[in-house]
Each structure stands twice: as structure tokens, then as C-alpha cells.
Chains A and B, each alone.
Chain A
Amino acid sequence: LLLLLYTNAYGLYHMIIAFDELKTDYKNPIDQCNTLNPTVEKVKKIKRVKIAIKLVLPEYLIHFFFCVMFFCAAEWLTLSLNLPLLAYHVWRYMSRPVMSGPGLYDPTTIMNADILAFCQKEGWCKLAFYLLSFFYYLYGMIYVLVSS
């Protein structure tokens, strides 16, 4: 279980990195040489968006799985902590842009400063949440082990 959570946090971290790259890209002078290189750039960019897309669904699924586990274990407190995020995930996925495949981010609007900033902020917040809950679960597990 812990491992899963860790993976989740790790995945999210990658996602943040991906966004960060998107944002800082081309502000970095070294990257400037890519200017002349549209195809390569484009492939790179799309790849990054894809990374983000690929990570989103597993993250949601894992989180959902956690909630189910907590529910089964009757860990009401933990579950209630996680429910808001679950609800947010559902809402977020429902209100995603029109898309035929799974995914959350639209490559045509992701470069919009507002959206990019929002996605980044969202990523950081969730990372913090997952890290905190990771330690909380760890504490819970150790407590259970020790007391039994």
C-alpha cells in the first residue's frame, strides 16, 4: 500500500516536472537553438503533454483504489480526508475538454499562461497532500505494528 502511494507521489512529481519544463522551455537560452527546429520541438512538446496525460489516469485510479481500501478497512477518518480529493478528481475529469481518448490536458490550450499556471499549482498542492498522507499512513502502519 505504501509503495503504491509512493509511486503515486513519484508519478505526480514527474508530472510537475513535465509542466515545469513546458513552462520554462524556451525561456532558457540554451533551448533557443531549437527555434530552428520545429519538428523536434513539437515532438518534444507533445511527448511532454502525453506524459502528463499518461500519468493523470493512473494517479486517479490509484487514489480511487486507496479510497476503496480505506472504505473496506473502515478507516473512516482517513477516508474522509481523502474524499474531497476524490470528488475533485471526478469533477475535474468530468469537466475536461472535449476529447475522444482518455486524458485531461488539451495540447492546444495548455500553453495558455493561466491554464499552465493552474496545472502547475494543482500539481504542487497534490504532491504536498500525497506526501503528508504518506507519512500519516506510515505512522499509522507502524503504530498498528507496534501495538499489535
Chain B
Amino acid sequence: MHPPTGCYGAPPQQQSYPTIPAHPAPVPSKAPITNSAHSANYYRSNHHQQQQQQHLSQHHVAPSPYSASPSSAPPSQTYATLPSSAPPPSNAHYSQQPLQQQHHPPYAPPGSYYGPQSYHAPPAQQSQQQPSLVPAPAVGPGAPVYPIVSYPSAPGSSQFGTLSSSQSAAAHGVMPTQMGAPLHQYGTTRPASTAAVQPGYGVAPPSHLAPTVNGQGGTGMCGGDTSSSSTGSASPVPNSYDNLEGGSYPDSMPPSNHMTNQAAPYGNYGYPGMPPAYHQGPAAVTDSSPSHDPYGQSSYQQYSQPFPNMSQLSAALGGLSGVPELEVAALRPVNLLQERDLLPHRPLEAPEPNLSPDLKKVNCCPQSFRCTLTSIPQTQALLTKARLPLGLLLHPFRDLQQLPVITSNTIVRCRSCRTYINPFVTFLDQRRWKCNLCYRVNDVPDEFMYNPVTRSYGEPHKRPEVQNATVEFIASSDYMLRPPQPAAYLFVLDVSHNAVEAGYLKYFCESLMDNLDKLPGDTRTRVGFLTFDNTIHFYNLQEGLSQPQMLVVSDIDDIFIPSHDSLMVNLKESKELVKDLLTSLPGMFSESKETHSALGPALQAAFKLMTPTGGRVTVFQTQLPTIGAGSLQSREDPNQRSSTKGVQHLGPATDFYKKLALDCSGQQIGVDLFLLSSQYTDLASLSCISKYSAGSIFYYPSFHCTQNPTQLEKFQKDLERYLTRKIGFEAVMRIRCTKGLSIHTFHGNFFVRSTDLLSLANVNPDSAFAVQMSIDDSLADSSLACFQAALLYTSSKGKRRIRVHTLCLPVVNQLSDVYAGADVQAITCLLADMAIDRSITSSLSDARDALTNAVVDLMSAYKNNVCNLQQSGLVVAASMRLFPVYILSLLKQKALRTGTSTRLDERVFAMCEFKTQPLQQLMRMVHPDLYRLDDMSDQGALHLNDTVVPQPHLLHLSADRVTRDGAFLLDCGNVFYLWIGKSCDHLFIQDVLGFPDYASIPATMTHIPELETLLSERVRAFLDWLQDKRAFSSTLTVMKDNSSAKASFFQYLVEDRSEGPFSYNEFLQHIQQQMS
């Protein structure tokens, strides 16, 4: 019944909904739709079936006005359940209970009236489940309303539980002490006297509201809290009432208010039972009673949840948004001078926005879409006061395991701002929805009323678009400028003497040969080859030729294309010729003595060749372009490499490449650059060709096929990934955000075509983008801020698709809340991007100062505005405790360091990586993960399939953590270092490395043998597990304590003084000085 389930691969939900069985059996879970497979969407396939069945499902429709949900339970049932559930055993404890009971009767009727389906079901379940104390209740209630609830990750937290608990807290007037600061508003809003009444209130609204708000489902529940808290009194009722009249539906809030008026004790609601009694107890004592914890916590968080989209409520929000315990923890002041062990045991996760669990459930995955502040400050003034950058980090085309793909004739969008419909819109009634970005009220088109997932009619809020924050649409021809072009790949290969020396050609041809069938594309896929030294060579691969024909154009000042239709050929038809060419290519130039490189003209030729279709140009270059247009001179002075003064030549020397890239971008050609060189090649200029055409850049310093096996291995692995990864053509990405927010600056590889539109000739799954935002208008009238990134692209199969990500975050008006929601990793990445811009437009030292100042500013701001304690030392919110470490590591990165010998190209490449790498990868590069491997235990290990993946603790990057008797793994993102201490346990060396003792380990070792020992299995399982999470595979280097490569290991220990002027302690002291 819930096809979506299938999509998500969520656990079977059946159990949770008793009611469901009544429905016509859904198409049982279809195979999950993975985007990689491009599988057809369930939508389409089911469609006709569904229509046929529609008449069957009509009975559902009939009750629809009120029973928006499919829940088959007859109203009467609802009724029944309420009372029964009401007297839960737990209630007995309650002093308040009598009160509630009284209210019950009045309530009940409304209950049945409205939301019934959605609500009564829950109660029943809850009562059942109560005994078990399992968080399950949440699932229960949610289930009927929202079939899709099955988010694997979703915590079982009980929504209901939460509500009640919060109320209880209020009622008692007991605020847990921790909450004090954040809650301030709370206190004010609710006078103690009202407490008793309020509880009831609070409860009712939440539950009811919830459904209304989203229309969709999950969200609603918690929202209620806010409203209740804010109003505190009956006042809310009238308002909502009005709304109700206004034509609200079952979905809409009004009903809820209704309930509230009446009296609202919790009980009515339906959840009768367990929650109130249960929670109240725990809530009051949240801290003290550990046993209750699960409940208490969940309830708390929910409490704080802002109400989605309800402008009326928003005001209340601020107050309400209490601080969940998590947040309290995030706010705990940390004195950096005293606390040393700051690192968590496991790599840091993205902080969870302080949203209702239902919103959280549907919110966009932080890996795709992340904001530096998970609580958006209400005004620019507040943002400035916080001294933190506001921005988004996007990884829009990431490889996803599951992605709902939707085909429908009309893609529902806001008529005013063109936002795609998303889980955070409000359904005013079944016919209208309110845009969450511009607040315009739109009509729901007829087609949208039909829900292919449940095959029922009249439930727009259950459509997959509204249940998922990440969806993909198959776009109609309205979204095309021209018919989708075939995937076209052109390889531009440097075959000058230098390239032959480096010997990459052979490996490239081998790799391409192996992956020829895996190139993304369909039967129309076209390929072409072009080689160049001081002339340009084209290859005629027209089907029917007996062997490839080489056409040489030596007039590089005025490039022309010798033959128009036979140079880019259909891969399928000419596969034999292509293979021929790939076999013969390495040999053809082995005698080449030509040292010049005409890269510029070759790129111009490639541009002309690709203009008709657009596509991807892959350039392999091994030296500085020396002749023709775009030739460059060496600008690097090796003696200046370690200068502490400014670094020159970070910007391009010529705008030839930039202009060409813009032309390419206009013709939908993306240029990817592989730079394999041992000398200076002026990457700063060359990188422009990829930067502005949305390409990617790979750099292999001192690449040589025999002398540098690690680079070769990395090249081969990267190439394999590169050739087989997904690709999108003719892409544009637009980022929309809630009214009041605007985009300030973009970071990444693209051409900015408009204030919110990026033009991406090619889009690949490994590049990320960052966006700086500013707050133009106060966001006071909304409680949520939403961001939507829509990526329109042509898939390699010739389908026009739109991938939409929507992120929803709460708006706060307190500085402490802003700090509590700060995402230190995202902030670090965004600051890195900003610092790189600064170092190019201004100077490197400027950028470094700016980074240091960012820490100083944050510390001062926190000290002055939030932390009232007159503590000495450096105090910072716990959420930001790693900020100084990260900034210090940033300052020691190749891109930004001074005082250490850094080749200009490597520096520029590091800068390019900062701009395009996704956050996780970037963080590993900036602040590598250090693990100790020789004493791993299975405690806390992950069990995946049949393998046990141990989870060793993270260690601080300091030499005093690296002991002589241990083995340590340093995960730097694209390379692993396995450090073997001098007196490392022999057992480890034997079991894992396969050598008898330390002395016999070779100096260069790049693989871990597959041994049958337990330890070896664990180590390999751990390495594989780390590897699985990244797109490009990393190389492994085993290092001995005495090896000469030691320096490259120690340079990553950023907390020491080994690199750069500061150790971590010195850095802190420096900051303290700056503050005073």
C-alpha cells in the first residue's frame, strides 16, 4: 500500500498500522528506486493500475473531507478508542488527571469529528504499546496519516509523549535547570497560575495542528507545541477558529483549535493514555530519573519545535522554542584552555536542526544540503552579532541510494516564485496550498489530488513530492530548450614528449578500454578523440573504415575542423574502431620528440567539435602550454615557495581560458582537466577552463608511471571512477530561499548566470557547492526558513530531470539559540571558501588574518553576549568547541599555509579542492581522522552483513597521541597513512601486515595483505568501511617510524608545531591576546 516504502527501503510498516489492511492491497513494495539505475518510477507504472482500481477505493474518498487519511477506521471506532485509552493506568499517578478526565467528554466529540482518523488510531496504539514503553507510539499515530513515515533513520520518538511531557513541565512550573537559559521566553509566556489549564491546551493544539500544517504528515505533530506555549491561554482559539471557518479542512489547523477550546486535556486527544501520565512524571524530573530518559528527551525536543509555516504561531515560536537537551549540551560553555579532550569518539555528525520530529524526518539529508547555522537568526543584526557566516553547503548530485522519481504531467510549483512543492508547504485545504518560500496561496491541480502511492484520491499531502525532501521529477518538454542531446565525450590528450615520458597514455587507454561499456549513456552516446603536441590531431572513426584515420591540423593559429560528422562518432556503431585506436594510441607517439604543447588551440578545436551537442571534454595535460593561443610562461619562483610574505600568482595570468570556458558553458560543454606534471604548469590559469565550465580538476604532482607508483595507482583509481560516474548535461541549478533571505556569493565550479541561478554545463556527483547567504528582511513573521535547490539536467540516457532538495530550518531570535545550532564543520568549510576568495582577490596573509579573526570575533561575541559567567580563559559554546582546531588546521593546509615550502600548483590545486569537495571529504582533508588500530576492540562495532566493523575512537592530531608501541591510521580523505611505531606489537605486524617483525617491513608498502587472522579482517573491514563512504578511492601508505616519509605524516598533526608557526596551545594563547 505504501509504495513509498519501497522507495525508501523503509522497514515494513504494516505492523504499525492496524487499520491499513483494509485498503486495497497496494502494489507491494516495489523494488527501491535507485536513481543510479534510472529505474522507472513507480508512479508511472502504477498509474493505470491505480486508475482501474479507483472505483474500488472510492469508499475512502467519500469520508475524505474529514478523514483525509486513508485510515479506514470508522469514526465510531475513533470514539471508542478515545475513552478507552483515556484511562491509562499511568494516569492514576497524576494529580492533574481528574481535570483532564472532566474535559474528556466534551472533547471526545470533536475528536471523532476531526482528525479522527489520524488521531484515534494513535491512541489506540499507544495504549497498547504503552506497557512496553517502546517509543513506538510515535510510529503508531503517525502511521495512519502518513503512510510514508518509514524513514529508516527516524527515531521512534513518541510525538505524543513529547507533548505531554512538555506540558507537564509547564504545569508543574518546574523547569529543569538546564533549560533555563533558552527557555526564558517560556517562563514569561506561561504564568504559573495558568499552568494547569495550559497543559491541556498545549496538548490539543499540537496534535491537531500538526496534521494541518504540513498537510503532509509527519510534521504537524510537534508544531502544536509551539502554538500552545506561545499562547498559553485561550486566545489562540479564536484565531484558529477563524481559520477554520475560512474553509479549513480536516487538514487545516482549525480543527485543532477547536479542540483546544473545548478544553483540551491531553486525554482527549487521544493519546490518551500513556502520554500524560507517563510523561508528566518524567518530564518534571527529566534529569533525575534516568530511566525515563528516552521519553523525557524526546518530549523535550519536540516541545521546542516550531510550528511549521504558521505565521500566527511564529511569534510564539521564539518563546517556545525551548531548548532541547541536545541544544543545552551544545550551549554548554567550554573553556578551551582547560578542556583538552574535545574530539568526540566518532567523527562529528551534522547537528540536527531544532525541528519537530516530523519535520526532521522529512528534512533533507545533511550530506546533500547543509546549513552553517541550523537555527537561522531572525535578523541580519542578530547574524552580525553572532559573528558566524550564514551559508549553505550543497552536494546536489550526490550518488543516492534511494530517490523517489516522479513522473507526472504537471509538476506542481508555486505560481509566483516557482518553488517546487515540497514537504514544508502548508495545505490550507485540499484545493489550495501555501508556498513556504513566498507564502503565496496556490491551487492544487487536479492531477495532484490523486495519490499514486496509496492510489487514493483527495490526499495531496500524501504525494511523494510532499513526503520527501529530495525528489526527482522527469521533466516535460517545457523544461527543454532543445531535445535532449546524446551524451558526448571528447578526450583531448597531450602527446608531446613530456607526456610520453610521464607515460600516462597507456594507462589512460587501458582504463578507458576497460570502462568503455560503462560510460554513462545510451545507444546514442558519442565519443571522439583529439591529440595534440604542437599540432592538433583528429581521428576519423567513422563506421565502415578499416582503421582509424588520423587527420593532422598544423595551423594552430586558425583552427578548423577537418571533417564535421566523422570525428565525434556513435560509440556503439564504431566501437571496434575506438578500441583499435585505444590499442594503437600509446605506441603511435612513443617516439615523439616534440616538446611544445598547443593546449589553447586544442581546446578551441574541442570547443568547435562539441558545439553542436555540448557534452564533456576531458583534457589531459602534462606541461605548460607553450605555443598558440593561451600559451603561458612560468611564473613561479622556486625560491619564494616558503616565503612567509605574500604568495604571488594565485590568479590567472590570462583570461583566455576563462573566456573559452564561458563560451563552452554557453554551448553546454564542460571541461575536466587532468594535470599530470612534474613541473610548474600554471594551474592558476589552466584551472579557469574547468572552473567556469563546471568541470572538475585532477592534479597528480610529479606523476610518472614507473617512478611514482602511488600517483599512478591514484590516477588509475580516479580515472575509473571518473569514467563510470554519473553525469548530467545541460544543467542549471537554482537555489531559492524563504522571502527575506538572499544569496550573496557562490563557491564552486560553475558560471553564475543570475543572482540565484548557476549554469552547469556538466554536473557530476562528486562536486559540491557553497553559497553565502545574507538576511535582507527580518524573518520575524515566519518560524521556519526553507531553502530549495533545484537541479535541472539531462541525464546520460537523454531524459530531462529535475532533482529538488528542500531544507527546512527553524528561525530563532536568541543569540544562544543561534550558537546552539551552529554547525562547526559547515562553518569551517564556508570560511575556507571565503578565505580562498580573499587570498585571490587580496592576499594570502589577508586571508589568514581573516580566519584568525573569525575565531577571535566568535570568542568575543560569545563571551560578551551569551556567556554571563565572568570566567577567564577562552570560553566557547560546546557546539563550536572544535572551531579553533579546525581553523588552525585550515591555516596549515597547503592552500593557506605560509612559511613551508609549497609549490604554487599544489597550493592552487588545494584551493580548487576546497571549493568543490563535498563537506565530509573536505573535513577529512582539513582535519584528518586519526585512529589507533592495534588495540581495537569489538565494542561498539558495526555489524554489516557478515562483517564486523570495529569503531576505534578518534584521537587528537597531536604527536603525543602517537605512541611508539602502537599502530595508527590517519585518514586524510584521499590517502590513508598507516603508521607503525617502532615498538609496535609484533602480533599486529604479523597478523595484519604479514611480516615477522618491525624491521622486516619494507619502506614502501601500499597494500594490506589479506590474511586470515581476526585482526587483519577487522582492520580491512574498517578500511573498506571508510572507503565505501567516499567516491574516489584512497590510497594506503604504510609508514615506519624511521622512514623518510615520516614528515608527510607529521605534517597532518596540526595541533603540534611541526608545521606553521603555531601549535594549538600557542594558537589559543594568540587568540586570547587578540581578544583583550
B745 near A114 with CB under 8 A, answer yes
Interface segment, one of A30-38, A63-71, A77-85? A30-38
Query: C-beta contact mask, B737-778 vs A, less than 8 Å → 1, else 0?
Result: 000001111100001111111010000000000000010000
Give complex CA distance A100, B657 in Å: 11
> B residues within 8 A CB of A27?
755
> A residues within 8 A CB of B654?
98, 100
> B residues within 8 A CB of A29?
416-418
Interface segment, one of A39-47, A50-58, A128-136? A39-47
Instruction: List residues 407-435 of chain B with CB under 8 A from any CB of chain A.
Output: 416-418
- B732 close to chain A: CB less than 8 A: yes
Chain B residues touching A, range: 35 or more
> How many residues belonging to A are interface residues under a CB distance threshold of 8 Å?
25
Q: Given A35-B732, A100-B655, A113–B743 Cβ distance below 8 Å? A: yes
A36 near B757 with CB under 8 A, answer no
Q: Given A37-B481, A98-B651, A45–B659 Cβ distance below 8 Å? A: no
- B994 close to chain A: CB less than 8 A: no
Query: C-beta contact mask, A90-121 vs B, less than 8 Å → 1, else 0?
Result: 00000001111000000110011110000000
Residue of B nearest to A37 (CB): B481
B755 near A42 with CB under 8 A, answer no
Residue of B nearest to A36 (CB): B479
> B residues within 8 A CB of A37?
481
> A residues within 8 A CB of B756?
26
A45 near B754 with CB under 8 A, answer yes
- A126 close to chain B: CB less than 8 A: no
- B652 close to chain A: CB less than 8 A: yes
B759 near A38 with CB under 8 A, answer yes
B362 to chain A, nearest CB (A): 25
Give complex CA distance A25, B744 in Å: 15
Name the one of A39, A97, A100, A111 contacting B754, with C-beta atoms under 8 angstroms.
Answer: A111
Give complex CA distance A129, B665 in Å: 39
> B residues within 8 A CB of A23?
755
Give complex CA distance A29, B416 in Å: 6
> B residues within 8 A CB of A46?
662, 666
Give complex CA distance A41, B755 in Å: 12
A38 near B479 with CB under 8 A, answer no
> B residues within 8 A CB of A97?
655
- B734 close to chain A: CB less than 8 A: yes
Name the one of B416, B418, B730, B752 contacting A35, with C-beta atoms under 8 angstroms.
Answer: B418
Residue of B nearest to A97 (CB): B655
B1074 to chain A, nearest CB (A): 25
> B residues within 8 A CB of A36?
478-481, 792
> A residues within 8 A CB of B743?
113
> A residues within 8 A CB of B652?
98
Q: Given A98-B655, A111-B752, A111-B754, A42–B481 Cβ distance below 8 Å? A: no
B774 near A98 with CB under 8 A, answer no
B754 near A113 with CB under 8 A, answer no
B662 near A26 with CB under 8 A, answer no
B842 to chain A, nearest CB (A): 11
Among B652, B662, B734, B752, max chain A CB count under 10 A is at B752
- B653 close to chain A: CB less than 8 A: yes
B755 near A26 with CB under 8 A, answer yes
Residue of B nearest to A109 (CB): B752
A38 near B752 with CB under 8 A, answer no
A98 near B653 with CB under 8 A, answer yes
- B995 close to chain A: CB less than 8 A: no
Query: C-beta contact mask, B932-950 vs A, less than 8 Å → 1, else 0?
Result: 0000000000000000000
Give complex CA distance A45, B753 in Å: 7
A18 to chain B, nearest CB (A): 14
B746 to chain A, nearest CB (A): 8
> B residues within 8 A CB of A35?
418, 732, 734, 757
Q: Given A26-B754, A107-B662, A112–B478 Cβ distance below 8 Å? A: no
> A residues within 8 A CB of B653?
98
A115 to chain B, nearest CB (A): 9
B363 to chain A, nearest CB (A): 25
B701 to chain A, nearest CB (A): 25
> A residues within 8 A CB of B478?
36
Residue of B nearest to A45 (CB): B753
> A residues within 8 A CB of B662?
46, 107-108
> A residues within 8 A CB of B651?
98
- B1052 close to chain A: CB less than 8 A: no
Give complex CA distance A99, B228 in Å: 60
Name the one of A38, A45, A114 contacting B730, with C-beta atoms under 8 angstroms.
Answer: A38
B732 near A38 with CB under 8 A, answer yes
- B894 close to chain A: CB less than 8 A: no
A8 to chain B, nearest CB (A): 28
B744 near A114 with CB under 8 A, answer yes
Give complex CA distance A36, B666 in Å: 14
Give complex CA distance A67, B755 in Å: 37
> A residues within 8 A CB of B60?
none
B655 near A113 with CB under 8 A, answer no
B759 near A42 with CB under 8 A, answer yes
Instruction: List residues 696-734 of chain B with CB under 8 A from any CB of chain A.
Output: 730, 732, 734
Q: Given A99-B655, A108-B752, A113-B743, A38–B418 Cβ distance below 8 Å? A: no
- B658 close to chain A: CB less than 8 A: yes
B744 near A111 with CB under 8 A, answer no
> A residues within 8 A CB of B759?
38, 42
Give complex CA distance A25, B752 in Å: 13
Residue of A nearest to B761 (CB): A38
- B656 close to chain A: CB less than 8 A: yes
- B862 close to chain A: CB less than 8 A: no
> B residues within 8 A CB of A39?
481, 666
A106 to chain B, nearest CB (A): 8
- B186 close to chain A: CB less than 8 A: no
> B residues within 8 A CB of A99?
655
B692 near A38 with CB under 8 A, answer no
> A residues within 8 A CB of B655?
97-100
A118 to chain B, nearest CB (A): 12
Residue of B nearest to A108 (CB): B692
Among B743, B751, B756, B757, max chain A CB count under 10 A is at B757
A117 to chain B, nearest CB (A): 10
B742 near A113 with CB under 8 A, answer yes
> A residues within 8 A CB of B792?
36
Q: Given A98-B651, A98-B655, A25–B755 Cβ distance below 8 Å? A: yes
A110 to chain B, nearest CB (A): 8
Name the one of B480, B481, B659, B752 contacting A100, with C-beta atoms under 8 angstroms.
Answer: B659
Residue of B nearest to A112 (CB): B745
B1052 to chain A, nearest CB (A): 33
Instruction: List residues 152-205 of chain B with CB under 8 A from any CB of chain A.
Output: none
> B residues within 8 A CB of A108?
658, 662, 692, 751-752
A100 near B656 with CB under 8 A, answer yes
> A residues within 8 A CB of B746?
111-112
B775 to chain A, nearest CB (A): 12
> A residues within 8 A CB of B755?
23, 25-27, 111, 113
Residue of B nearest to A115 (CB): B745
B417 near A111 with CB under 8 A, answer no
> B residues within 8 A CB of A100?
654-656, 659
Name the one of A26, A98, A112 contacting B757, with C-beta atoms under 8 angstroms.
Answer: A26
B758 to chain A, nearest CB (A): 10
Give complex CA distance A98, B650 in Å: 12
B666 near A42 with CB under 8 A, answer yes
Residue of B nearest to A99 (CB): B655
Give complex CA distance A99, B659 in Å: 9
Given A38-B481, A111-B754, 10 extra CB contacts under 8 A: A29-B416, A32-B417, A35-B734, A35-B757, A97-B655, A107-B662, A107-B751, A111-B746, A112-B744, A113-B745
Closest 8 CB pairs of A and B: A111-B752, A113-B744, A26-B754, A32-B418, A29-B416, A99-B655, A112-B745, A98-B655
18 pairs from A and B in contact (CB 8 Å cutoff): A32-B418, A35-B418, A36-B479, A36-B480, A36-B792, A38-B481, A38-B732, A38-B759, A39-B666, A42-B759, A98-B651, A98-B653, A99-B655, A108-B658, A108-B662, A112-B745, A113-B743, A113-B744
